[in-house]
Chain A
Amino acid sequence: MAGRRVLVAMSGGVDSSVAAALLHTQGYEVIGATMKLFCHGEDLPDRPCCSLDSVNDARRVCQQLGVPHYVLNLESAFGRDVVQDFVDEYSRGRTPIPCVRCNTFTKFRDLVRKADALECDWIATGHYARAIDGELHRGVDHGKDQTYFLWGIERDVVRRLLLPVGHQTKAETRAVAHRLGLDVIAEKVESQDICFVPDGDHIKIIRRELGGDTPSLQRGPFVLHDGTTVGEHDGFARFTIGQRKGVPGGFASAMFVIAIEPDTRAVVLGPREALMGRGLIARGVHWMCAEPRAVGDRVSVQHRHRATPVPAEIVRIDGDEIELALDAPLSAITPGQSMVLYDEDRVLGGGFIESGSRVARRLALPILASGV
């Protein structure tokens, strides 16, 4: 693309601010945009992301750079594509990953439409990832790499994607911020929470969206794999695979959540070994590489943010469903989370985890039986 006009998605944080500043220095015609995704009104203390202060920070950075800044109201689309799915996933006994859906739909679809309307040649964000020859690669700073959340982007969007901070470390980003005089922003606290979930309390959001009497917030049994009831919980939406907090004690070994069954509202418990799986099934698979992989191909799979990827073989592909046999067992393969396939640093594609495969169950059960 010949043009130099770029729409930069700016959260008001250090990464996207530096991204905008770097592109501006490189001679791009920068247009800053902050997405307004939800409105908590006045009833929330400041949050590191998406708050009014963040909008103001982004605007100030743009003013300093001498570039235009706009606030894009994407509330209704975000509510539909991200928030609604988030609470629905919990209702289905799964653990959603809203950042993936936000990236897939809100940032790299709705925002791209805005960019098109403004005749922008490029889209940029402050993600730690690299777009190289139309393909996505992990950020140079592996500790900050965000490709785990970016596998849903369309390939033709990747071709016009600029990710300036993906080529440097977080420390370098902060240093650039200081050098550019963005001192306040350089030292802002990083947000770890999901932006629309105040204080990390997702129960509050489920209650608000679905009402307090929704099944996922009702009492239900804690059961062992053989069906023995060993206690009661007050809502399966409070649990995720691998969770130990809030689980009854008094067993020979520590117990973890190994499954959630929404039909009976049961939270199934088992020992640590029962969390290990040697297979993985995912749906909604999206390929980011030029040539999608086939059955028998070797890939490297990551099943959680910051987890170490393991080698695997593709054993089945059925439409948008994929099944992998893992070389080494993975812990807490959680339905609703992402699995991302890599070739070294290059993202091949990703999907939403449906289950640890039957292989996993067969291996897990005997251990479970002997352990309890």
Chain B
Amino acid sequence: MAPPIYLDHAATTPVRQEVLEAMTPFFGARFGNPSSVHRWGRDARTALDEARSRVAACLKAQPDEIVFTSGGTEGDNLAIIGPWRMRRAHGRNAVVTSPTEHKAVLEVVHQIAREGGEERLLAVNACGVITPDVYEPMIDAEVAVCSVMWINNEIGVVQDIPAIGAHARSVGALMHTDAVQAFGKLAIDTTRLPVDLLSLSGHKIGAPKGIGAMYIRRGTPFEPLFHGGSQDRGRRPGTENVAFAVGLAVAAELQLAERERECARLCVMRDALQSAIMARVPDAVVHGAGATRAPHILNISVPGTDSESLLMALDLAGIAASGGSACQSGSVTPSHVLSAIGVSRSLAGAAVRLSVGKMSTDDDIARVGEVFPSLVEKARRLAGAA
């Protein structure tokens, strides 16, 4: 059997060799605790500070504006609850977000509502985009923080974060963006970007799972969620994961250095895949097709099929893809993102997300472009026979 093909880079990516090598010393001789006074501590502290500076540089930020986290979910939690708790007493009790956000944002906003905050959800259009006529009246002087994902993790749609952020600023609201999918795909310059908080995750860019970073612009009101230490200026107490922070820095730099070339390569592959599928399954529906899309995500529904069966058939054929949001048990449930953009339940239940990345090759795309339509044809024959 041909080697398996990984088309789920939006879910996670393998740790890059350079990253692994950079981390290795910190699992051995350089094991110190950065808070210790002795030489081991100093050595670890130096490495941590350097990693922080390097991650900051990737965002054109200052080192003290970077907080290391365990990943995207923690970053999203901190970035929304942190400022809201500080500002709610000052007449800013509302939090704004959209229904197409990652659960790490949506659930946080629901939690804030349970704690007495006001939840405001921005409607998205059929392409998944939030337009000014929707967000301008919703983001007002009562808003503590507005959180919008830059690149949607399921359908790849890009939101106009500079414009939404500029409006949020103009009314004194803080702007947060979940940039987990965007980092390494879009240029991010915090000196120009009207964003106060930004979260990113290591394992989407070749660093290990369990590390991420949050950018907090200087002067942003912020109350920590954890207590018990002065690490990361008290914003995220706990002994720092030096090895992973170093890994994140290396991965981020590599991602940035390769960004333009890699994005162009991914875009060609994604488009080729989309064309190959559409040529043989002309009634397939590409979600978010009418909007600006990230180069690496293709979310497609084939009427008359279901994602569960298609994903299994793809897996058995050696192709890794994903469906809607996977629940804890691993079963597939229809995506809240697709429901939010008005996709019917049956079509949403047929969605498959294919995401290209570092491991993808033209040969992969050619093979998937063959196999995917043939699996669809088989599934339809069966459905027709039943």
Contact = CB atoms under 8 A, between A and B. Distances in A.
Nearest to A34: B329
A73 B309 contact: no
A55 interface: yes
Contacts of B378: 119
B316 A68 contact: yes
A73 B316 contact: no
Contacts of B379: 117
A70 B315 CA distance: 10
A363 B230 CA distance: 85
Contact of B331 (A36, A117, A118): A36
B121 interface: no
A301 B382 CA distance: 38
B312 A117 contact: yes
B316 A117 contact: no
B121 to A, nearest CB: 23
Interface string A311-343: 000000000000000000000000000000000
A113 interface: yes
A68 B315 contact: yes
Contacts of B313: 117-118
Interface secondary structure of A, over-half rule: mixed
Interface string B298-341: 00000000001100110110000000000011111100000000
Contact of B316 (A34, A113, A118): A118
A72 B382 contact: no
Interface string A110-123: 00011011110000
Contacts of A113: 386
Contacts of A73: 308, 331-333
A73 B330 CA distance: 9
Interface string A21-41: 000000000010010100000
A59 interface: yes
A114 B309 CA distance: 7
A52 interface: yes
A119 B332 CA distance: 20
Nearest to A74: B331
B330 A118 contact: no
Contacts of B308: 70, 72-73, 114
25 contacts: A31-B312, A36-B331, A52-B328, A52-B329, A59-B330, A68-B312, A68-B316, A70-B308, A70-B312, A71-B329, A71-B330, A71-B331, A72-B308, A72-B331, A73-B308, A73-B331, A73-B332, A113-B386, A114-B312, A116-B386, A117-B309, A117-B312, A117-B313, A118-B312, A118-B316
Interface of B: 308-309, 312-313, 315-316, 328-333, 378-379, 382, 386
